[in-house]
Chain A
Amino acid sequence: MAKRIDVSGLTAYYGSHKAIEDISMSVEPRSVTAFIGPSGCGKSTFLRTLNRMHEVTPGGRVEGKVMLDNEDLYAGGVDPVSVRRTIGMVFQRPNPFPTMSIYDNVAAGLRLNGSYKKAQLDDVVEKSLKGANLWNEVKDRLNKPGSGLSGGQQQRLCIARAIAVEPQVLLMDEPCSALDPISTLAIEDLICELKERFTIVIVTHNMQQAARVSDRTAFFNLAAVGQPGKLIEIDDTERIFSNPSVQATEDYISGRFG
């Protein structure tokens, strides 16, 4: 169910602007990899290239290879829609479908993939909401709109929606930056549970968060504004935060920079 990702020589553009350049890294299955770095260094752009969401932006294009196990996501003939069905994504701001009920939000991905019987859907919805630690809070109001939940609950609803389709990989783009500390803690606990089942990649501005939840950490940086972002180093989280091999990483995490 969880697959590994191998990225090699990946460069992404917005029109003629090169946003990230020549990034290569591997992400192990059933692990949490955190991306840290200053704003504008291309962490989110890189994350969005992993499920081919980058090319949705007008002018967005990508060069290089992203291998999911042995399948190149950017090979000719690969349908981006089916890539996104196997690689789920959670966004910075909670974005449940406001016109759908809580139940329908979770079931949305399944319904895209084909028709299911009501009982099957009920099972998946319950399992996903339990998986997102939200079931007890919403089980009595599954038919109410998802937009009526609190921000933290909405974000967990979005996680439930993403895991309902049993993706291979779960990408999270600053999932806690719009949440209060208690909701953040709930999401972080959830991430630790989810990594038993999924490969997780998380972008975060919060270095304590990276230290708390991730197994490996990648540090991104850019030489100057307008220059493309680059991967400086990726290593075990413990090492990155105690004894990084590149000076820029140490400067960044110790607050001397960025």
Chain B
Amino acid sequence: MDIAPTASAAPQNPPPKDPSGKDSATRPGDRIFLGLSRGSGIALLVIMAAIAVFLTWRTLVALAENEGNFLTTFEWSANADPPVFGIAVLAYGTIVSSIIAMLLAVPVAVGIALFISHYAPRRIATPLAYVVDLLAAVPSIIYGLWGALFLVPHLTGLYEWFDQFLGWTGILSYDGGAPRSLFTVGILLAIMILPIVTNVSREVFKQSPKMQEEAALALGATRWEVVRMAVLPFGRSGVISASMLGLGRALGETMAVATVLSPNFLINVSLLNPGGGTFAQNIAAGFKEAGDIGRDALIASGLVLFVITLLVNGAARLIIARRKEYSGANA
């Protein structure tokens, strides 16, 4: 009559009766907290999966209608009949403007972070850190307006100078006209991602171990050498993470880019001449007027942006993991 295969041992000592074990395992607070935290984790996965399914489904719908090549076509006529659209220009513009932003912002951000954490006296460092925080609080449309109304008119001189001395490179030639170009977007994005890269780097540098800094000092290191020997190596993975956070913001930035850039669907060798486009800017510019296929096409481009962001994050993790053995975490 007993069905359990381990019947011989079962009836003699039923484990749930153990008073101490039962008490600690079923306390209501623990159960509620477990439920809440597990529920949050599951909810996150469900939401992510739902977004992925939605994006993929609409993308497939759009791709089925597309008469052009989605990856290589230099055109976005998703509302035409037949629809023709491709992401080549958008991918190029997004990546190039973000790279320009990183190249400009990361060195400056690391410099500011080091100044605040290791060079400046406290009465300067605190207000400076506050000002950097303020930069992060400015809405992106304000950056966009500032970029369009102030930055664009004032960059002409700089671009003419670039053209005169570096025009032979091709990428820095400039034919005149309002510089509503990818490089201008890059400058604006650099200013926008500066606060996040600075703040995260600053926190990492502040936590660099005093022990190693003293070791470097005692060896006769100057302040810069202390930074190079004991602070930067410790903070390297943190700076990479900070840069990736900034890159994520630059890749997805919409309003500021849409306000500054004068878009077209050409890949211009020169970064200074107007033209080009980014994923987010193209979605913002086209979503309202788009028909059914047009919207699905924009969603498809959004999925590509999502994948690029994922790849960037994955690459950053690889870089960090590769140097783990030498990281400050082993100190």
Please tell me which stretch of B71-79, B85-93, B221-229, B243-251 contacts chain A, meaning at least 4 of its Cβ atoms lie within 8 angstroms of it: B221-229
Q: Is B143 an interface residue (CB 8 A)?
A: no
**A252 close to chain B: CB less than 8 A:** no
Q: Please give, as numbers and ranges, the residues of chain B lying within 8 Å of A86 by CB-CB distance.
A: 220
B230 sits at the interface (CB 8 A):
yes
Chosen A-B contacts, 30 in total, with CB atoms closer than 8 Å, are A53-B214, A81-B221, A83-B220, A84-B218, A84-B219, A95-B209, A95-B211, A95-B215, A97-B215, A98-B212, A98-B233, A98-B234, A98-B327, A98-B330, A99-B233, A99-B234, A99-B326, A100-B229, A100-B326, A108-B229, A109-B220, A112-B220, A112-B221, A112-B225, A145-B325, A145-B326, A147-B330, A158-B215, A161-B215, A162-B218
Establish whether residues B211 and A53, one from each chain, have CB atoms under 8 Å apart when the complex forms: no
A95 to B214, CA, bound (A): 9
Q: Which residues of A contact B214 (CB under 8 A)?
A: 53, 56, 91, 95
Q: A63-103 interface mask toward B, CB cutoff 8 Å, 1 = contact, 0 = none?
A: 00000000000000000011111101101010111111000
Most chain A CB atoms below 10 A, which of B218, B220, B230, B234:
B218
Add 8 more A-B contacts to A98-B331, A99-B233, A100-B229 (CB < 8 A).
Answer: A84-B217, A84-B220, A84-B221, A91-B218, A98-B330, A99-B327, A109-B220, A112-B221
Tell me if B328 counts as interface (CB < 8 A to partner A).
Answer: yes
* List of 8 A-B pairs having minimum Cβ-Cβ separation, nearest first: A85-B220, A99-B233, A89-B218, A95-B211, A147-B330, A84-B220, A109-B219, A98-B331
Give bound CA distance, A81 to B219, whole Å.
8
> B218 to A97, Cβ gap below 8 A?
no
Q: How far, in whole Å, are A190 and B111 apart by their CA atoms in the complex?
A: 42
Of A81, A95, A113, the contact of B212 (CB 8 Å cutoff): A95
Give the total number of A-B pairs whose CB atoms are below 8 A apart.
79
Chain B 169-213: CB-based contact to A (< 8 A → 1; otherwise 0): 000000000000000000000000000000000000000010110
**A99 to B209 CA separation, bound complex (whole angstroms):** 12
Q: Which A residues are CB-close (under 8 A) to B218?
A: 51, 53, 84, 88-89, 91, 162
Q: Are A97 and B330 in contact (CB under 8 A)?
A: no
Q: Report whether B219 and A98 are in contact in the complex, using a CB–CB cutoff of 8 Å.
A: no
Cβ B217 vs Cβ A98 within 8 A: no
Q: A123 CB to closest chain B CB, in angstroms?
A: 19
**Chain B minimum-CB-distance residue to A147:** B330
Residues of A near B234 (CB, < 8 A) are 98-99
Q: Please determine whether B327 and A53 come into contact, CB atoms closer than 8 angstroms.
A: no
**CB-contact partner of B219 in A93, A99, A162, under 8 A:** A162
Distance A100 CA – B230 CA, assembled complex (angstroms) = 10
Do A145 and B330 touch (CB < 8 A)? yes
Interface membership of chain B positions 253-289, coded 1 if the CB is closer than 8 angstroms to chain A and 0 otherwise:
0000000000000000000000000000000000000
Q: How many residues of A contact B (CB 8 A)?
A: 30
- Bound: A161/B220 CA distance, A: 12
Q: Interface residues, chain A, CB within 8 Å of chain B?
A: 51, 53, 56, 81-86, 88-89, 91, 93, 95-100, 108-109, 112-113, 145, 147-148, 158, 161-162, 165
Chain B residues with CB under 8 Å of A98's CB are 212, 233-234, 326-328, 330-331
Q: Which residue of B lies closest to A105 (CB)?
A: B215
Question: In the complex, A51→B214 CA distance in Å?
Answer: 12
* Minimum CB–CB distance for B30 against chain A, Å: 38
B residues less than 8 Å from A85 (CB atoms): 219-220
Do residues B233 and A56 form an inter-chain contact, with CB atoms below 8 A?
A: no
Distance of A94 from chain B, by nearest CB (Å): 9
A91–B233 alpha-carbon span in the complex (Å):
21
A145 to B325, CA, bound (A): 7
Name, among A89, A95, A112, A148, the residue most crowded by chain B CB atoms within 10 Å (CB to CB).
A95
With most chain B CB atoms within 10 A of its CB, the pick from A82, A91, A97, A100 is A97
Complex interface residues of chain B between 98 and 139 (CB less than 8 A to chain A): none
Cα separation A51 to B217 with both chains bound (whole Å): 10
B219 contact set on A, CB distance < 8 A? 84-85, 88, 108-109, 112, 161-162, 165
Nearest to B218 among chain A residues (CB) is A89
A108 to B233, CA, bound (A): 14
Interface pair A81/B222, CB less than 8 Å apart: yes
A56 to B225, alpha carbons, bound, how many Å?
Answer: 15
Q: How far is the CB of B28 from chain A (nearest CB, A)?
A: 45
| Chain A nearest Cβ from B89, distance in angstroms | 42
Distance between Cα atoms of A146 and B214 in the complex (Å): 17
Q: A91-B215, A98-B331 are in contact. Are A165 and B326 (CB under 8 A)?
A: no
**Distance, CA A180 to CA B234, complexed state (A):** 28
Residues of A within 8 A of B209 (CB): 95
Inter-chain contact B220/A93, CB cutoff 8 Å: no
Q: Contacts of A51 on B, CB cut-off 8 Å?
A: 218
Q: In the complex, how many angstroms separate the beta carbon of A52 from the nearest chain B beta carbon?
A: 9
Q: Are A165 and B220 in contact (CB under 8 A)?
A: yes
Min CB distance B266 to A, Å, is 46
CA distance A88 to B215 in the complex (A): 10
Chain A minimum-CB-distance residue to B221: A112
B182 CB to nearest A CB, Å: 36
B20-66 with Cβ < 8 A to chain A: none
Instruction: Kindly list chain B residues whose C-beta atoms are within 8 Å of the C-beta of A162.
Output: 218-219
Q: In the complex the two chains form, what is the Cα distance from A84 to B221 in whole Å?
A: 8
Q: How far is the CB of A100 from chain B (nearest CB, A)?
A: 7
How many Å lie between the Cα of A51 and that of B325 in the bound state? Answer: 33
B220 touches A97 (CB 8 A): no
**Complex contact B229–A97 (CB within 8 A):** yes
